[in-house]
Chains A and B, each alone.
Chain A
C-alpha cells in the first residue's frame, strides 16, 4: 500500500495510487534498456502503463496504437479508474466502432511524463525514494514515442497497422510516422499540428504560471510537503478549457445565461453559467491529474516542431514515406486550426506520401475529436477499412467484400 502523507485528501491519494500502482497493464524497463531522452539523459528504470483491447492476430498485422492527448490516458475504451466515466475515446474505439476491437488489436499507453502509471514527475525516483517532481528530465513528444516503441517491441509487434490520435496524440502520430516510417502502415493525425504555434505556447505558459504561482506548489515538492496546488491547477485547466471550445459553441450552450439567479449579484460569485461551468471543469480536473505532470506534458507540446529535426522542411520528415495518412481537422478548432492540418497535408504531398484530408464541419471546437460526430466516424471507418484491405486484413464478418 502506498503511504499517503498527512494533509492529502483521499482523491489526491487516488491520483498517487494511479501514478504508482495503476489499475492497468504495466511493463518496466531496467538499466539495461534505458529511455534515451532528448534532454540527453538515459532514464531508467522506466515504467509504461498501458491497456489493450481486442486480439492480436497470428501475423501481428492488426495492431492499432492510440495516442492520447494532453490530459488523456491509456483508458481509451474502459471506465476510467479515477473518474468512473467511460474511456475518453469510447465513441471511436470498441466492438463495431470505427476502431473496431473485433478486428483490430488496440494498444494505448500513458505517455512518459504522465500520471496514470507511466514514469512521470509523480513517480518515485529510485535514487531518492521520493517523487521525481522537477528532477525528471523535461520530456518531448519524441521521448513519448520512443517509450511507445519500447512497449510495441515488448509486445513483439514489428509494424503497427495504424497509429491514431488527436491533439497531442496527433503530434505523436506524426512523430511515429517520421521516426519509424517502416513500422507505421497507416496514420491518422487528428486535430493537430506539426509544431506548436506562438499562441499555443502562450496558452500553455499561462497554465504553467498558474500552477507555479500557487504557494501549495512548493517549488514542485508538494507531494513531499503533503500539499497540492489545486487552485493553480484549476485555473490552468479553466484557461485551457476555453481553448478547447469554440466561441459559437459557448454562446449556444451558455450565452449570457445566469446561474440559478434572476439578476446579477453585484459580487464576484459565479453569476454566469459559463463561470460556473469553468469552475467545475477546473475543480474536477485537480481530482484526476498531477500538477507537475501538467507542466511536463504542456512543455512537451511546446517543444514540438517536427520540421526542425529535418532541416526546417516538414516535407523532408515524410520523404519517401509508404505510410497511408488520413489527416482530419475540425472547422471551428482554433487551437489547432485547419490551416495547421493543411500544412501537414502539403508536406505529405510534397514528400510523395499517400494522404487523405478531411475537414469536418462542426461548431464544437477542438474538443470535437472526442465527441460523437457521424462524419468523423465515417471518415475514420472508411480510412481504416481501405487501409485494412491494402494490408490484407480480413473484412469484418458482417461485411461482404466489395472488391474482388
Chain B
C-alpha cells in the first residue's frame, strides 16, 4: 500500500489457493467458517478484497479479530439467513459443507447472499474411500477424512457427483470447477465427472444463481 514490494507469496493450502484463484480482486467476500483467518488475511492483503468472516469457534474468532480481521462468531446453519440478498460478490465455504446440519439450505443461502458461491469439499467418492468400505467393510478413514465414524464432524458425506446433482436441483449454474488430486494438484479438466469423482480427493466449485 505504501509502494513497498509485497513479501513472497505465503504457502496457502491447495484448496484455499484454488478458491483464491476463482475470486475477482477488490470484490466483497464473505468466508463462512473462516477458521483462524488464513484465507481472509491472504485475500485482503494480496487481492485487495473487502473480506469478512463467520466462524463457529470462539478461539478462531478471537484469533481473527485480534489480527484486525472482520469476523463474527456465528453458525453457517443459522446465521446466514440474517444477511440480505446480494450483500457480497463471493461467499466462500471451505471444507465445511459436509459438517453443516442442512447443507442444502446453507448452499441456498450462499447463492442468495452472494453473486457467486465458492465451495470446497472433500470427495467421499474417491477410490480410497470406496476401497476401504468395499474391502474392509468399515467406515473409511483417510488423510482428507481423518475421523472415526463416531466422532466425525462430517455428518453429511457426499461425493462430487452428489454435489453436482444438488447444484442442479437448486437451479444454480457451475461457472468453474476444479478437482485436486492426492498431492493437492489440480486434475485435468474436460474429463467426465466420473473420473474426478474417482480420483479427486477434494473439489472446488464456483457457482452462481441461474437467472
Interface residues on B, range: 20 to 34
| Residue ID in chain B nearest A351 by CB atoms | B84
State whether the Cβ of A361 lies closer than 8 Å to any Cβ in chain B: yes
A355 touches B70 (CB 8 A): yes
| Residue ID in chain A nearest B67 by CB atoms | A382
**How many angstroms from the CA of A379 to the CA of B66 in the assembled complex?**
5
In whole Å, how far is B187's beta carbon from the nearest beta carbon of chain A? 34
Chain A 357-389, CB-CB to B under 8 Å as 1, else 0, gives 111110000000000000100110111011101
A350 touches B68 (CB 8 A): no
On whether A375 and B62 interact (CB within 8 A), knowing A349-B82, A350-B82, A352-B87, the answer reads yes
- Which residue of A346, A358, A387, A404 is within 8 Å of B62 (Cβ)? A358
A356 touches B72 (CB 8 A): yes
Task: Kindly list chain A residues whose C-beta atoms are within 8 Å of the C-beta of B72.
Answer: 327, 345, 349, 355-357
State whether the Cβ of A326 lies closer than 8 Å to any Cβ in chain B: yes
Task: Kindly list chain A residues whose C-beta atoms are within 8 Å of the C-beta of B64.
Answer: 356
Task: Kindly list chain B residues whose C-beta atoms are within 8 Å of the C-beta of A359.
Answer: 58, 61, 73
On whether A346 and B82 interact (CB within 8 A), knowing A352-B87, A358-B62, A379-B62, the answer reads yes
Task: Kindly list chain A residues whose C-beta atoms are within 8 Å of the C-beta of B83.
Answer: 349-350
State whether the Cβ of A3 lies closer than 8 Å to any Cβ in chain B: no
In whole Å, how far is A112's beta carbon from the nearest beta carbon of chain B? 32
State whether the Cβ of A354 lies closer than 8 Å to any Cβ in chain B: yes
A356 touches B84 (CB 8 A): no
**How many angstroms from the CA of A382 to the CA of B37 in the assembled complex?**
13
State whether the Cβ of B164 lies closer than 8 Å to any Cβ in chain A: no
- Which residue of A349, A385, A404 is within 8 Å of B68 (Cβ)? A385
Task: Kindly list chain B residues whose C-beta atoms are within 8 Å of the C-beta of A324.
Answer: 70
Task: Kindly list chain A residues whose C-beta atoms are within 8 Å of the C-beta of B70.
Answer: 324, 354-356
State whether the Cβ of A1 lies closer than 8 Å to any Cβ in chain B: no
Residue of B7, B61, B72, B83 ringed by the most chain A CB atoms within 10 A? B72
State whether the Cβ of A403 lies closer than 8 Å to any Cβ in chain B: yes
**How many angstroms from the CA of A327 to the CA of B4 in the assembled complex?**
33
**How many angstroms from the CA of A41 to the CA of B28 in the assembled complex?**
45
A404 touches B66 (CB 8 A): no
State whether the Cβ of B74 lies closer than 8 Å to any Cβ in chain A: yes
Chain B 100-111, CB-CB to A under 8 Å as 1, else 0, gives 000000000000
Task: Kindly list chain A residues whose C-beta atoms are within 8 Å of the C-beta of B7.
Answer: 404
In whole Å, how far is A347's beta carbon from the nearest beta carbon of chain B? 9
State whether the Cβ of B71 lies closer than 8 Å to any Cβ in chain A: yes
**How many angstroms from the CA of A8 to the CA of B67 in the assembled complex?**
53
B69 touches A358 (CB 8 A): no
A383 touches B68 (CB 8 A): yes
In whole Å, how far is A323's beta carbon from the nearest beta carbon of chain B? 12
- Which residue of B4, B45, B73 is within 8 Å of A357 (Cβ)? B73
**How many angstroms from the CA of A382 to the CA of B64 in the assembled complex?**
8
Task: Kindly list chain B residues whose C-beta atoms are within 8 Å of the C-beta of A345.
Answer: 72, 74
- Which residue of B4, B61, B71, B82 is within 8 Å of A404 (Cβ)? B4
A382 touches B66 (CB 8 A): yes
On whether A361 and B82 interact (CB within 8 A), knowing A356-B65, A389-B68, A404-B5, the answer reads no
In whole Å, how far is B194's beta carbon from the nearest beta carbon of chain A? 40
On whether A361 and B69 interact (CB within 8 A), knowing A346-B82, A403-B1, A404-B2, the answer reads no
Task: Kindly list chain A residues whose C-beta atoms are within 8 Å of the C-beta of B137.
Answer: none
Task: Kindly list chain A residues whose C-beta atoms are within 8 Å of the C-beta of B58.
Answer: 358-361
Task: Kindly list chain B residues whose C-beta atoms are within 8 Å of the C-beta of A375.
Answer: 62
In whole Å, how far is A117's beta carbon from the nearest beta carbon of chain B? 35
| Residue ID in chain A nearest B46 by CB atoms | A404
Task: Kindly list chain A residues whose C-beta atoms are within 8 Å of the C-beta of B68.
Answer: 382-383, 385-387, 389
Task: Kindly list chain A residues whose C-beta atoms are within 8 Å of the C-beta of B5.
Answer: 404
**How many angstroms from the CA of A378 to the CA of B62 in the assembled complex?**
8
B1 touches A404 (CB 8 A): yes
On whether A358 and B61 interact (CB within 8 A), knowing A352-B87, A404-B2, the answer reads yes
| B residues 76-91 in Cβ contact with A at 8 Å | 79, 82-84, 87
Task: Kindly list chain B residues whose C-beta atoms are within 8 Å of the C-beta of A349.
Answer: 72, 82-83, 87
Shortest 3 CB-CB distances between A and B: which pairs?
A386-B68, A382-B66, A357-B72
10 pairs from A and B in contact (CB 8 Å cutoff): A349-B82, A349-B83, A356-B61, A357-B61, A358-B73, A359-B61, A379-B66, A382-B67, A382-B68, A404-B5
In the complex, given contacts A357-B73, A358-B62, what are 16 additional A-B residue pairs having Cβ atoms less than 8 angstroms apart?
A352-B84, A354-B70, A356-B65, A356-B72, A357-B61, A357-B71, A357-B74, A358-B73, A359-B58, A360-B62, A378-B62, A382-B65, A382-B66, A404-B2, A404-B4, A404-B6
User: Which of B's residues lie within 8 Å of A, judged by CB?
Assistant: 1-2, 4-7, 45, 50, 52, 58, 61-62, 64-74, 79, 82-84, 87
